Amino acid sequence: MILSIYLQTVPTSLYLLNKGRCCVLAIVTVDFDGTLYQGNSFKAMFQIGKERFTTKQWATVAAGLVKASAGGLLKGKNKFRHDFFRAFAKTFKGKTTEELDLFFQELVNFGKAEVHQNLVLKIREHQDKGDTVIVLSGALQPFLKAFIKDLQLDVHVLSTELLFNREGLCTGEIGQIVNGDIKVKKLQEWMLQQHISVNSTKEIWAYADSASDIPLLHYVSNPILVNPKEDMVKIAEQNQWSIFAS
């Protein structure tokens, strides 16, 4: 009876009942930029912005680029990306969910040709086995959800959130950028919410491609680099990580 009540608090797809025992099926995390999406969401956003943004919005982006460039010189590439990301998000201030949906659908239409179709097939293979798939990325959540809807994938999404006020309008601010160690933290928080411990799950997979994913790749039991660049191939060899190349 206790087991029955406990199972009702979490998605049933996460569990396998076998001879009276309960074990969590595999959890599979998939990165977006450079992995599921072989393009770059920053470049895609910039391209669509060129067609849609007003002079005022471009002034906001330009100011962010100046700040990002200064921060990047001092603190590196990730600092530049994060500052630019925040500046770009400010252009969404005052937008409704419906207006943002239109913008992000344009992004999907622009970038869908660069989806890693072989990885989509691999995701479906995992799901056929009963595994739970999570797209775990620093990309904006509305963009990821629009992309996943277009791909007709039934997956969870853990990513950078756009913030909204009580009236349902975007504030132009974003939540914590899901990158590096934060990916591990977000995954752990999600597992805790689902009442899953590392010891209770059968295995955890990660499909990723870049140096910022190294903390996650070390954390999981099945790290897989997707079409890695030369520097990441060396790291994969040093750690005996698998490579998914296509």
pTM value > 0.85: no
Contact between 119 and 33 (Cβ < 8 Å):
no
Task: Give, for 45, the enclosing helix (H) or strand (E).
Answer: helix 41-52
Residue 199 CB neighbours (<10 A): 6
Predicted confidence at residue 67, as pLDDT, reads 65
For residue 201, what is the DSSP state?
Answer: B
Q: Where are the domains of the chain?
A: 2-244
Task: Tell me the CB-side half-sphere exposure of residue 84, using CA atoms within 13 A.
Answer: 19
The neighbour count for residue 181, using CB atoms within 10 Å, is 12
Distance CA 60, CA 20 (A): 59
> What pLDDT sits at residue 42?
75
* Mean per-residue pLDDT pooled into runs of 10, the chain (246 residues): 34 43 76 91 77 74 65 56 82 93 91 94 95 95 94 95 96 94 96 82 91 96 95 96 92
CA-to-CA distance for 206 and 114, rounded, in angstroms? 20
pLDDT score, position 129: 92
List of residues 6+ apart from 234 with CB closer than 8 A:
none
Burial 81-110 (b: 16+ CB within 10 A, else e): bbbbbbbbbbbbeebeeeebeebbbbbbeb
Cβ-in-10-Å burial (0-12, 13-18, 19+) of 244 comes to middle
Which class in CATH covers the domain with range 2-244? alpha beta
Q: Is 140 helix (H, G, I), strand (E, B) or coil?
A: strand
β-pair partners for 133: 28
80 vs 71: CA distance, rounded Å: 6
Residue 101 · residue 150 · CB < 8 Å = no
